[in-house]
Structure 1
């Protein structure tokens, strides 16, 4: 009897711990998505600023040495690379947001026997939506 009760306690503790990680997982994924989206927008902004700066630099130095023309082109190229580096962050933010949306918490109605009669009671449940088609 002592072994059975200790086994039941162990199972309940494991279920409680896993339920806590599931609720924290959704918050974790949403904050991670928000951070990735912020990084992506910062990279787009920095890349756009560098592109505009390079274009202004090239337009102000029309007839100059090769070094001045190369500098403007280098600034434009670095801006394009910086803006292009934001694409994986946007994709990652979107996938994390979708994965967080697939985790849902709610109450599920179940039939429980009470005094030889079945009654509808609710219990907390974790729902995981799995898309079948895209």
Structure 2
């Protein structure tokens, strides 16, 4: 009975470990950063245009006294302003992903091998990830 439990536990742990083998490369983080920055600029530009249009309509309808148009224009201006604010997290994430991509390097590191009274080096390709704390 104990062996069945042990085998079942090992099976469950190994299935979780196999599912977490995704490799991230420099190109992955650069592409992700580029997409996030594009999204951020679209949100900022669109939100600014909508906010300016909504608040301009709000101002002109305020003078004319039509309450229905004033309410709709105020809502549109507020939605545009909030859309512009929504771009800030995308700019921050894009900057973090770009820094992560720049910290990944592909390099050749020497490995020191010892032999009969001699020390020699052999270069092996390595993938280095620098994590700044």
Name the TM-score, length of structure 2 as normaliser: 0.72
Q: Which segments of 5 or more consecutive residues in structure 2 lack a partner in the other structure?
A: 1-20
CA distance in 2, matches of 1:130, 1:46: 35
Q: Note the 1:54-69 alignment, pairs <5 A.
A: 54-61=54-61, 62-69=63-70
Tell whether 2:54 aligns with 1:43. Answer: no
What count of residue pairs does the alignment treat as equivalent? 112
The equivalent of 1:90 in structure 2 is: 91
**1:109 Cα deviation (Å)?**
2.0
The equivalent of 1:131 in structure 2 is: 132
CA distance in 2, matches of 1:93, 1:70: 36
**1:70 Cα deviation (Å)?**
1.0
CA distance in 2, matches of 1:91, 1:59: 33
Q: Which segments of 5 or more consecutive residues in structure 1 lack a partner in the other structure?
A: 1-17
Q: Note the 1:99-110 alignment, pairs <5 A.
A: 99-110=100-111
CA distance in 2, matches of 1:93, 1:38: 9
**1:103 Cα deviation (Å)?**
1.6
CA distance in 1, matches of 2:28, 2:80: 31
The equivalent of 1:30 in structure 2 is: 30
CA distance in 2, matches of 1:76, 1:128: 44
Name the TM-score, length of structure 1 as normaliser: 0.71
